[in-house]
A and B are shown apart, each in its own frame.
Chain A
Amino acid sequence: EADIYQTPRYLVIGTGKKITLECSQTMGHDKMYWYQQDPGMELHLIHYSYGVNSTEKGDLSSESTVSRIRTEHFPLTLESARPSHTSQYLCASSAPGVAGGFYGYTFGSGTRLTVV
């Protein structure tokens, strides 16, 4: 059972609306990530955070913004949704590894956003 939760699972919204996609994890992970998955299934990192009050832009430019006020919560906001924002958004977190190691991500189930 996943310990990282995304809501809503599906969202259909009109152009120009402000939306917030929620992501929460109960594992106490410091590091969290947002990926955008386009219709061709490729994943692109759009935001990441290595702890509270720390956020960075990812490899793919995005008009969305994120915040990290609490360790467990990493919401993504679109101030004015457009059809080009239609995509699946995946949230993930990672645990610290021993001696600088890394064990990979735990993913949420995703939010499928459609802007009409």
Chain B
Amino acid sequence: AQSVTQLGSHVSVSEGALVLLRCNYSSSVPPYLFWYVQYPNQGLQLLLKYTTGATLVKGINGFEAEFKKSETSFHLTKPSAHMSDAAEYFCAVRASSGDKLTFGTGTRLAVRP
């Protein structure tokens, strides 16, 4: 079975500081990995995804993530946080059967002025 662990339910950074949100996964098959962002009272929006190929993937709003098979990790980073980045972030892995996604418990990012 697939699972996702997001370390840190709340992360707070200063504006302009590095953002690092951690995600570790377990999967019995080569994983498809995703990061989604959720703003208050909204649905989830795809930030970026890893399917195959290049292990460093770039997404929207300046975010990127690196797939590290040896560490079973897919951490999300952004060099310089902006106030508008404050939101809930979810890591997800594709289940081995069908196209169901398993989500992590989410990390709430706060950005201090």
Distance (Å) between the CB of B105 and the closest chain A CB?
5
- Chain A contacts of B32 at CB under 8 A? 101-102, 104
Which residue on A lies nearest to B105, using beta carbons? Answer: A42
- The answer on a CB contact under 8 Å between A42 and B51 is no
The interface residues of chain A lying within 8 Å CB-to-CB of B94 are 102
Contact B45 A107 (CB under 8 A): yes
State whether the Cβ of B74 lies closer than 8 Å to any Cβ in chain A. no
The reply to whether B105 and A40 form a contact with Cβ atoms under 8 Å apart is: yes
Tell me if A45 is interfacial: C-beta within 8 Å of chain B. Answer: yes
CB closest residue in chain A, given B92: A104
Contact residues, A21-76 vs B (CB, 8 A): 31, 33, 35, 40-43, 45, 48, 50, 58
B88 at the interface (CB under 8 A from A): yes
Cβ A41 vs Cβ B43 within 8 A: no
Residues on A with beta carbons closer than 8 Å to the beta carbon of B92 = 104
Q: Give chain B interface residues in 46-100, CB to chain A under 8 Å.
A: 46, 49, 51-52, 88, 90, 92, 94, 98-100
Asked if A43 and B49 sit within 8 Å, CB to CB, the answer is no
A7 within 8 A of B: no
A110 touches B42 (CB 8 A): yes
A56 to B44, CA, bound (A): 22
- With contacts A41-B88, A41-B106, A42-B106 taken as known, whether A104 is within 8 angstroms of B101 at the C-beta atoms is yes
**Considering the complex of A and B, which 9 residue pairs feature the smallest CB-CB distances, nearest first?**
A107-B43, A107-B44, A43-B103, A41-B106, A109-B43, A42-B105, A110-B43, A104-B34, A102-B99
